Amino acid sequence: MIDRIAFGVVALLLLLSALRVVTSKNLVHSVLWLGLTLVTTAGAYLLLSAPFIASIQILLYTGGVITLMLFGVMLTRRGEDIAIPNESSEGGRALILSLATFGLFTGAVLKTPLPQEAPPFTGSTAELGREILGPNLMAFEVLSVLLLAAMVGAIVIARRRDPGSQRPSLGLRIEAEAKSQEGKS
């Protein structure tokens, strides 16, 4: 009984905050609502007996991604004013599409025989660690390479100038190109 109440609370919070993420007029608010969504998801993970993933969710997403997003918002805003617009448009087709998708998935779920009760869970974080660094070590290592590549890529894209070189960075060159195009037209 108690898990059903917990599920209801989590589900309600999750859906409400998610809706505010996509409807809020202020971009900063959207980001903050996303933070709430992610934290609530961590709660859902706890309900699903995944405490390690829940803590990762809070540390990485809420601590990292949300901060990053806020940086992004602040770095790209125009004007001094704190209310940063987050506009939507042509909601019609988007609404129809998302509702249709939801209907489709729900229909598929209801048609599929899924277990009613979760089996008793005996796992532990130590076992999860062995799982990751044992059979899935290869994927883990590949992922680390991917993260490195993403880091290098982000720096190359966003940097202003290559150190020790007179050549402007890729970003600035694209910028200059765009300006010369404007000048021509």
Residues 75-114 that bind other proteins (CB under 8 A): 75-78, 84-91, 93-95, 97-102, 104-110, 114
> Of residues 21-50, which lie at the interface with other proteins (CB under 8 A)?
21-22, 27, 30-31, 34, 37-38, 41, 44-45, 48-50
**Position 147, amino acid:** L
Distances (CA, A) of 109 to 18, 74, 102, 106, 115: 21, 41, 10, 5, 11
Closest CB to other proteins among 145 and 166? 145
State which of residues 80, 81, 82, 116 lies at the interface with other proteins (CB under 8 A): 116
Tokens (6 digits) for 57: 């969710």
Q: How far apart are CA 94 and CA 101, in angstroms?
A: 11
Least distance to other proteins from the beta carbon of 163, Å? 17
> Of residues 131-170, which lie at the interface with other proteins (CB under 8 A)?
131-132, 136, 139-140, 143, 146-147, 149-151, 153-155, 157-158
**How many Å is the Cα radius of gyration of the chain?**
22
What is the rounded end-to-end Cα distance, in angstroms, of the chain? 68
Judged by CB under 8 A, does residue 118 bind other proteins?
yes
Q: How far from chain centre, in Å, is Cα 52?
A: 18
Judged by CB under 8 A, does residue 64 bind other proteins?
yes
Judged by CB under 8 A, does residue 4 bind other proteins?
yes
